[in-house]
Amino acid sequence: MRRPHLQSDPRANPTDRYNREAHSYRELWAPILRVAGLRLLREFAGAPVHRIVDVGTGVGFLLPDLRMTFPGAFILGIDRSPGMLALMPTGSPRAVMDATQLGLPPASVDLVLLVFMLFHLKAPADGLREARRILRGGGRVGCLTWAGDLQSPATLIWTECLEAHGAAEADPTTETRHEPVNTPAKMEALLCSAGFSSVRCWTDELVSSIHLDHLIRLRTSMGSAKPRFDSLTVLAQEACVADARRRMEKLEPEDFVARGSVVCAAADASRWADTDYVRKRNKRRTR
Ligand SMILES: C[S@@+](CC[C@H](N)C(=O)[O-])C[C@H]1O[C@@H](n2cnc3c(N)ncnc32)[C@H](O)[C@@H]1O
């Protein structure tokens, strides 16, 4: 029998979901993503940076690293989810704003970060154009998006258990929302079209050991896969967890090492970038 697909319902609204799952996010997911964020920050270290906006900052997990990398800089965390912002480190400046309509003056910031958030925007280019607007000439933008899922033999067992216990199929929009930003070439085109220059995009590996209890709590308490677990009856949920636990207890430690890949991007806000890109694009079209 075909399993039903999860339908997009109001509860699937990402802001509601992030509000509800903020505590789990901070405890279980943010530390995993931080590794990739830290590597991106190294790209910008050493530059004279006084004002930073972290767009889609979530629980602000990257803020201590930003403070270490840019001592004395003013750092503003922006997010659409008040529930996530409430868990930012105490005393950090924050504001509820939409990435596509930032209430900040033009040319007022040295560095804008959009870390693991562009895939939430209907049109990622709108978020990048807004970042370009608030950056001063010579300011820089840094982005991270997913190129490939974080997976391990243990995460695959979890997916098999969901299937075996009759979970609904994944909501297909969960996958498709990553498509516009999941390769360096796509990110380069988006950044150029948003008016950035000196665009550099590359992929990086994200490796993290996610052990049994952490993995089960992660999959049952937050994230885009949680609705599949929620689609099971309480009895089926218990059986699914027991089955997954039994199978994972037989794994070796290396089977919990999850590997994924991310797209990193760094670019400059320069006055002439728009023209550069349009000229290059027109040249390509006429070839
Ligand atoms: C996967 S989390 C990343 C959080 C943080 N950057 C990190 O790496 O831990 C995505 C964040 O983007 C925020 N977000 C999604 N759409 C947004 C929008 N249109 N404007 C502002 N924030 C948004 C969500 O509320 C969430 O906190």
Ligand 1 contact, 83 CB (< 6 A)? no
Domain of residue 17 covers 10-150+175-208+260-286
Q: What spacing in Å lies between the alpha carbon of 116 and ligand 1's midpoint?
A: 7
Q: What spacing in Å lies between the alpha carbon of 118 and ligand 1's midpoint?
A: 8
For residue 237, being part of any structural domain is answered with no
For residue 217, being part of any structural domain is answered with no
For residue 163, being part of any structural domain is answered with no
- pLDDT score of 271 more than 70: no
Q: Per-residue pLDDT averaged across 22-27, rounded?
A: 97
pLDDT recorded at residue 270: 82
Residue 170 and residue 177 in contact, taking contact as beta carbons nearer than 8 Å? no
Quick one: three-class SS letters along the chain? Answer: CCCCECCCCHHHCHHHHHHHHHHHHHHHHHHHHHHHHHHHHHCCCCCCCCEEEEECCCCCCCHHHHHHHCCCCEEEEEECCHHHHCCCCCCCCEEECECCECCCCCCCEEEEEEECCHHHCCCHHHHHHHHHHHEEEEEEEEEEEEEEEEECHHHHHHHHHHHHCCCCECCHHHHHCCHHHCCHHHHHHHHHHCCEEEEEEEEEEEEEECCHHHHHHHHHHCCCCHHHHHCCCHHHHHHHHHHHHHHHCCCCHHHHEEEEEEEEEEEEECCCHHHHHHHHHHHHHHC
- pLDDT score of 275 more than 50: no
pLDDT recorded at residue 11: 44
CA dist., res. 254 & res. 243, Å (int): 20
For residue 59, being part of any structural domain is answered with yes
- pLDDT score of 60 more than 60: yes
Residue 61 CA, closest ligand 1 atom number: 9
For 93-137, what is each residue's pLDDT tens digit?
999 999 999 999 999 999 999 999 999 999 999 999 999 999 999
For residue 247, being part of any structural domain is answered with no
For residue 139, being part of any structural domain is answered with yes
Which amino acid residue places its CA nearest to atom 12 of ligand 1?
A: 56
Q: What spacing in Å lies between the alpha carbon of 158 and ligand 1's midpoint?
A: 26
For residue 166, being part of any structural domain is answered with no
Q: What spacing in Å lies between the alpha carbon of 82 and ligand 1's midpoint?
A: 11
Residue 102 and residue 78 in contact, taking contact as beta carbons nearer than 8 Å? yes
CA 7-13-16 angle, to 5 degrees, is 130
Strand partners, 245: none
Number of folded domains that form the chain? 1
Ligand 1 contact, 18 CB (< 6 A)? yes
Q: What spacing in Å lies between the alpha carbon of 104 and ligand 1's midpoint?
A: 18
The model's confidence at residue 281, banded by pLDDT at 50, 70 and 90, is low
For residue 78, being part of any structural domain is answered with yes
Residue 220 and residue 241 in contact, taking contact as beta carbons nearer than 8 Å? yes
The model's confidence at residue 170, banded by pLDDT at 50, 70 and 90, is confident
Site to probe by mutation for ligand 1, drawn from 35, 101, 117 as the one with most ligand atoms within 8 Å of Cβ, is: 117
For the domain that residue 95 is a member of, what is the CATH number? Answer: 3.40.50.150
- pLDDT score of 277 more than 50: no
